[in-house]
Structure 1
Amino acid sequence: MRLRSLTLACSLAALTVSSSGTLALAAPHHTHSAQGKTAAPQATQPEPDDMILKIVNGVPLTKRDVDNRGKLFALSTGLPVNPELMARLRPQIVRQLVDERLRTQEILSRHINVPPEQIAAAIAGIEKRNGMPENALRNKLAEDGVSLTTLIDQIRVQIGWVQVLRQELGARGRVSAKEIAQREEALKREDGRTEYNLSEIFVKVEDPRHSEEELAFTNTIIQELRKGAPFPIVAAQFSESQTALDGGSMGWVQEDELDPAVVNMVKQMPVGAGAISNPIMVPGGFVIVTVNAKRVIGHQPGHVASIRQAFLPFDAPLNPAQVTPQQQQTLQKAVHLAQTLSSCDEVAAVNKQYGEKRPTDPGELQLERLNPQMRDLLLSLPLNKLSRPLVSTDGIDMIMVCAKKEKNFADRAPSEIADQLMNERVEQTARQLDSDLHRRAMIVDVHASKHKGV
């Protein structure tokens, strides 16, 4: 686990369930008959969905809440919903939902309100990071029978918790120019050493003497990641570090910022291959890491391009054997635009005209990190010249390069250093406040004999 800073970006990279636990996929409600309490039916009768597992400062946590979180995890990662997976996830889900209840109560006690605009921006961030067109996330949830409200509620809690931490920091919530300069000098002394771009999932251990449950859960998560579950989604749902707010991304870190056990692991792991580490024991719990990139501090030359794109959507998925009139007209329009557009502003205007189904400006692109086809296209494309129409099943994309330049990606802007320093303080504050909330809380374990939770 990282010992310093953790990113506070609220562009969640995952589908998460609400703290209220309401979910359209909840199992049908079951009730126990007061008259049929014979031994045989009691053994086979399913537990009712509204069975209370814990009471957190007077607020119940039910079986339905736990089941909903597990189902949403399975749906959002493409895994089958089966009793075995749900059973393995259950103890950790209970612990995390207790944490969410405590955080929600703290947010309410401070009268913190999260504007709808922030929630909408966070959802748009999810779609952008996962390459989804606008409103695709809403449609995916609807297809899976999950109410969008569950996602909205969860985002509200996570953003509200960030505001709680800012309040806790108070005057320490600002980084001075002197502190930035000191960190810049420290980085210069690190010149030539290796640093890593990592993502993490941190699983907290309540009692180090009895960590069997947490280790079993960590191994379950590793198994699902290695089967293909998206790391950002799993991190956003289950990591108990502040990096969960950014899909587990830790950004660039040096070896002295990491626990020695993590350093030993990442040195042995392949870079950028999606490899998932074994469980790593660190102070406070277990951590899972993946190595996104590696570089030498102060030396990472590369090339970047600024582009604009226009996307012309089809009215139906393209079938090459049966092209619709609208699709033919769209292709003709794209060919005409390729011959007439000569500026990035014109491309932006066209994309807006067609509803901005894809972002006009996807941000600065590092060519070395693009797939070979896209990299070759951008390298060969002259400035202010529209690309040939790029046809896909849902429409036609056209790209124009506005600028190209060389860049040393190892250079850190003052704003990046300020973020790192602030995140260090936020992480320390978050852990302390979580600990305080648990210490002051009244948590009643209603079904302790059946459900071992927090």
Structure 2
Amino acid sequence: MPRPARTSALTLGLMLAAALPLPAGAQLPPQSQAAAQTNRIVAVINGEVVSRADIVGRARLFALNAGIAVAPEVLDRLTPQVTRLLIDERLRLQEVQRRRIPVTDADVADAVAELEQRNNLPPGALRAQLNQVGIQPRVLYDQIRTQIGWARLLRQQLGPNAIPSEAEVNETIRAATARVGQPEFLVSEIFVPIDDPRNEAEVNRFTEEVIRQLRAGTPFPVAATQFSQAQTALQGGDLGWVRKEDMDPAVAAVVERMPPGAISNAIKVPGGYQIVAMRQRRESGRDMATLLSVRQAYFPFAGTLDPNNPTQQQRDQVEKAQRLAAGARSCDAVEAAAKTSGNDRPSDPGPIRLETVTPPPLKAMLAGLSPGKPSQPILMPDGVLVMMVCTREQRNLAELTPDQAKQQMLRDRVELLSRQLQRDLRRRATIEMRN
């Protein structure tokens, strides 16, 4: 696993050489010109260098995540804000190191493995994918290392006082109960700070580019993880369910008018700009749901099914599914069958909210299944599936639990501290920008 981004003596020598003026009439060979441009120093932060290569690498990482091509004009629009983002990350990492907060290679490797797992990638696939498109894996690893270290620093700074007391939690729940029936919004955010008022126009241009990419299909969590400077960036910008009183008044005024699925324009808030995505609406305290726990056994086909000419292997798999559907009397039986089905699809897909199941025929089938009764085999092009409902529960998902109240209060305190510390680091730092 690469170490945190540091400029080696050799690399620094190359960068300094590239920054020196050439004698009159002298020209670098084409390859040397490219290397000089790549290794050009863009900023020096407390003695540490951010190069053009660092900025290009981060912009390419964003493009890979977003599924877009980095055209030169797009890179030019992203460059000022990516530069600012890398400066802030370098300040954070320096502070983490100054306080001797450990972030090991194993920590980073675990985070990468979790990313691969979430995206259904085999181990090592992320590194291979980065190399394939010309992105040094350390670009991602450095970002992850900084995020882990900064989160640990904030927890250390807050200390025991970060944990809300029982009295504070109870008061939050009482206040939530009093608000039953008021509107709530499931919102995600991207926060882009303005550290210098002279750069406001530049920051605004950057937010417009991000909004353009979001509306063109870039997943909001991807953009938030890459560019938001709020602590919610670690969760893809997820703010959870909030009321208008929980948001900045300017943001609340916009959110109240947004339909689900909409992405706002840049909203000016204290300290910067905020972009919000409206995901859902509900009435506070009222969100009744039917929650199912299920087990499934999937019998895969060796090839795509031709209904008019099934292979013997496909017939055998259908017969296995039919025997299970006829004989299974418990979820344990379905789970046992799944383990011998020759397929790595999990037997437990996790909690399912019936109201959100698609397609409609699957929803209707699950709605009609009594707990402990298997479904009829569900034929698909690549296999056959048998499902069983284990439990069915009606629950009010909008009811605030003590744990949810505690997490909400803790998140707010962490976010406030994060913004304060970042401003302090900027004020104390020696930042030299190079043309």
Pick aligned residue for 2:277 from 290, 302, 307: 290
Could you tell me which residue of structure 2 aligns to residue 6 of structure 1?
none
Runs of at least 5 residues in structure 1 that lack an aligned partner in the other structure: 1-16, 23-28, 450-454
2:206 to 196, 217, 231: 217
Decide which moves more: 434-443 or 79-88. 434-443
Partner of residue 433, structure 1: 421
In the other structure, the counterpart of 2:227 is: 238
Q: Distance in 2 between matches of 1:400 and 1:120?
A: 37
Aligned residues: 420
Q: Identify which of 332, 343, 350 aligns with 2:330.
A: 343
Q: Is the 8 A contact 2:184 2:283 kept in 1?
A: yes
The match for 1:307 among 294, 299, 318 is 294
What does residue 174 of structure 2 align with? 185
State the match for 2:183 in structure 1.
194
* 2:190 and 2:276 in contact (8 A); partners too: yes
The one-letter code of the counterpart of 2:5 is S
Alpha-carbon distance in structure 1 between the residues aligned to 2:130 and 2:311: 29
Q: Which amino acid aligns with 2:90?
A: R
TM-score calculated relative to the size of structure 1: 0.80
- How many Å separate the matches in 1 of 2:106 and 2:297? 25
Rg: which structure is higher?
A: 2
Structure 2 CA distance, aligned partners of 1:114 and 1:327?
50
The one-letter code of the counterpart of 1:280 is: I
Q: Secondary structure at the match of 2:140?
A: helix
2:40 maps to: 51
Distance between the aligned counterparts of 2:132 and 2:327, measured in 1?
A: 40
1:377 alignment partner in structure 2: 365
Report Cα offsets for 1:385-435 as digits up to 9, x if no partner. 344555667665543321111111110111000001111110111111112
Aligned to 2:98: 109
Q: Give the match for residue 363 of structure 1.
A: 350
**Given residue 267 of structure 1, which amino acid in structure 2 is its aligned partner?**
E
Deviation at 1:238, TM superposition (A): 0.7
Task: Report the Cα distance in structure 2 between the residues aligned to 1:116 and 1:390, rounded to whole angstroms.
Answer: 45
Deviation for aligned residue 1:128: 6.0
The change in CA–CA distance for 1:262 and 1:323 in structure 2 (over 3 A counts) is farther
Matched-pair contact (CA < 8 Å) for 1:200–1:287: yes
Aligned pairs (5 A) from 1:33-182: 37=25, 46=34, 48-114=37-103, 119=108, 122-123=111-112, 125-126=114-115, 132=120, 135=123, 138=126, 140-141=129-130, 144=133, 146=135, 150-182=139-171
* Inter-partner Cα distance in structure 2 for 1:380 and 1:198: 33
Which residue does 2:5 correspond to in 1?
Answer: 20
Name the CA distance, whole Å, in 2 between partners of 1:411 and 1:97.
40
Overall identity of the aligned pairs, in %: 39
Q: In 1, Cα distance between the equivalents of 2:312 and 2:137?
A: 35
For 2:58, the aligned partner's letter is R
Q: Report the equivalent of 1:452.
A: none
Alignment root-mean-square deviation, CA: 3.6
Alpha-carbon distance, 1:113 to partner? 3.0
Q: Does 2:409 match 1:421?
A: yes
User: Matched residues in 2 for 1:123 and 1:154: separation?
Assistant: 11
Contact 1:88 1:220 in 2 (8 A): yes
1:88-122 deviation digits (Å, cap 9, x = unpaired): 11111111111111222222233333466755664
| Structure 1 pair 117–35 and aligned structure 2 pair: CA distance change class (3 A) | closer
- How far the C-alpha of 1:165 sits from its partner, in A, is 0.4
Say whether the 8 Å CA contact 1:18–1:151 is kept in structure 2: no
Moved more, 195-204 or 103-112: 103-112
Q: Distance in 1 between matches of 2:185 and 2:175?
A: 17
SS of 1:399's equivalent? strand
Distance in 1 of aligned mates of 2:368 and 2:116: 29
The equivalences for 1:254-293 within 5 A come to 254-271=243-260, 274-293=261-280
- Distance between the aligned counterparts of 1:346 and 1:216, measured in 2? 58
Residue 248 of structure 1 is matched in structure 2 by 237
Q: Please, which of 356, 365, 387 is the counterpart of residue 399 of structure 1?
A: 387
Report Cα offsets for 1:365-388 as digits up to 9, x if no partner: 222223243422321233233445
Answer whether contact 1:18 1:154 (CA < 8 A) is retained: no
Partner in structure 2 of residue 9 of structure 1: none
Matching residue's letter, 1:166:
R
| Structure with the higher fraction of residues in helix conformation | 2
Pair 1:18–1:179, CA change in 2 (3 A): farther
Asked if the contact 1:19–1:100 (Cα under 8 Å) also holds between the matched residues in 2, the reply is: no
> Counterparts of 1:112 and 1:312 in 2: how far apart (Å)?
48
> Structure 1's 356 and 203: CA in aligned 2 closer, same or farther, altered over 3 A?
farther
> Counterparts of 2:154 and 2:213 in 1: how far apart (Å)?
32
Q: In 1, distance between residues paired with 2:319 and 2:129?
A: 32
Counterpart secondary structure, 1:292 = strand
Contact 2:189 2:274 (C-alpha < 8 Å) held by counterparts: yes
**Pairs within 5 Å for 1:437-452:** 437-445=425-433, 447=434, 449=435
* Structure 2, unpaired ranges of 5+: 8-13
Change (3 A) 1:239 1:418: same
Q: CA deviation at 1:444?
A: 2.1
In structure 1, how many angstroms separate the alpha carbons of the residues matched to 2:148 and 2:325? Answer: 43
Inter-partner Cα distance in structure 2 for 1:355 and 1:123: 28
Higher normalized contact order (CA 8 Å, seq sep 6+, divided by chain length): 1
Distance 1:328 1:21 in 2: 60
Sort the Cα spacing of 1:37 and 1:375 in 2 relative to 1 into closer, same or farther, 3 A. Answer: farther
Asked if structure 1 preserves the Cα contact closer than 8 Å seen for 2:224 and 2:233, the reply is yes
Change over 3 Å in CA distance of 1:204–1:379 after alignment to 2: same
